[in-house]
Amino acid sequence: MARPPYTGWDRVALTLNDHDRVHTETSQRAMLSGIWRGSRLAGRLRGAWRHEADEALKPVRKDVRRLATEVERLRAALEQTAIRAARGDRASAQVRSIMELNESQRDRLVDLPALLDEQQLRAHVSHAISTAALRSDPFEHIVVDPLFPPAVYDLLISAIPPAAFFDDHDPIKPNLVFPMTFGPTLSTTVWNAVDTMIARQCIQPAVLEKFHQPLQHHYDTVFGPAFRAQANALPKLSDGGRLMLRRSGYHLAAHRDPKRSMLTCLMYLARPGDDERHGTQLFRVTDDREASYKQTYYPGADGGTCELATVVPFRPNTMLVFLNAHGAHGATIPADAGEDLERYSYQFYVAPENAALGTLIRQLPQDRRTMWQNKNRVATLKPNA
């Protein structure tokens, strides 16, 4: 039987009943919430949950650490594999070059005794250096042109080893230091002779004589006038000899070489077609001062202002020699000079023998002696450094 329709009072009663039910449920929830907050049950449950979660995640964390270690080990292994592969390719290229060049250059070896005759070379080089004009702007330097007899210079160019024999630390500025113990026979024979016999026996005595007077003033500056005679008596060496290969993007900021290097000799090995603009920049330095440490010195970083005075052209069979006393030098090959560009040169320093120089420095007054300290020592002594 159908239920009769609700009357208006019935609807009111139902509404009141629903209101009472909602009020009761709200009151119960409020009471339970108060009990929950007033007790430590919530904290205990949260702690229990965190503990259980931590326990459950421990194996996961352990696996993550293990996987991270394994990934790092694999990464290192891949790097080493790549390095070994590159070295293998490099060694293969070197061996192939040695075999090919030893075969093609065999006839040139016959001419070496005559072309590398020490007495004749010393006479030629000494005359070339002694007759070169000594310039004082922006600092004392000479440009020897030509340095060698043409046949000797051609031999040096032919004996430049392939790039694979230079170090691979920086593709823009690789070097080859001496003695050269592995390479084509012509390269090792000729360039070891350059670094020993030609640099030490032919060039070094001649440039020391040429720069004798400027060196006296330099000795007075770095040692003191009272020690000039001892400075002149120091045994001198040709030091740091290396073949230098420079490519596009090379930049060497204005600087002076390490203080121990009294003279820098830079032999340009330009080949036909090489751009002579890629030579050496010589700078005047305003507010110039003596370096307060013995390493390479950048005047611009010490309050000086470097102004480009001239660029010594990169020309065949020439050598730049300069006094490492004041001013600065640098070099730049633009990045857009060509991806195949290669500029070769040979450089060495004329410097006192280390032990003898150390003995002299220990005799200097304190104010002079501190000017020969390490750069990092100077930095630690500066206020607020």
pLDDT in tens, 310-350: 999 999 999 999 999 999 999 999 999 999 999 999 999 99
Residue 40 or residue 127, greater confidence: 127
pLDDT recorded at residue 214: 98
Q: What is the dihedral of CA 225, 227, 233, 239, to 10 degrees?
A: -90
pLDDT recorded at residue 383: 47
| pLDDT at residue 125 tops 90 | yes
* b/e 167-190 (16+ beta carbons within 10 angstroms → b): eeeeeebbebebebeebbbbbbbb
Cβ atoms within 10 Å, residue 205: 16
| pLDDT at residue 306 tops 70 | yes
| pLDDT at residue 67 tops 80 | no
| pLDDT at residue 191 tops 90 | yes
Q: Kindly state the average pLDDT of the residues 229-249.
A: 97
pLDDT recorded at residue 372: 97
| pLDDT at residue 31 tops 70 | no
pLDDT recorded at residue 102: 96
355 pLDDT band, cuts 50/70/90, is very high
Structure tokens at 260: 């121990």
Determine contact, residues 189/196, Cβ cutoff 8 Å: no
pLDDT recorded at residue 62: 73
Q: Kindly state the average pLDDT of the residues 109-133.
A: 97
Rounded to whole angstroms, the Cα distance separating 22 from 28 reads 10
pLDDT recorded at residue 47: 66
Lowest mean pLDDT segment, chosen from 83-92, 222-231, 304-313, 352-361:
83-92
Q: What is the pTM of this model?
A: 0.78
| pLDDT at residue 5 tops 70 | no
| pLDDT at residue 33 tops 80 | no
| pLDDT at residue 29 tops 70 | no
Burial of 80 (0-12, 13-18, 19+ CB in 10 A): exposed
pLDDT recorded at residue 16: 45
| pLDDT at residue 229 tops 90 | yes
Share of the chain above pLDDT 70, in %: 79
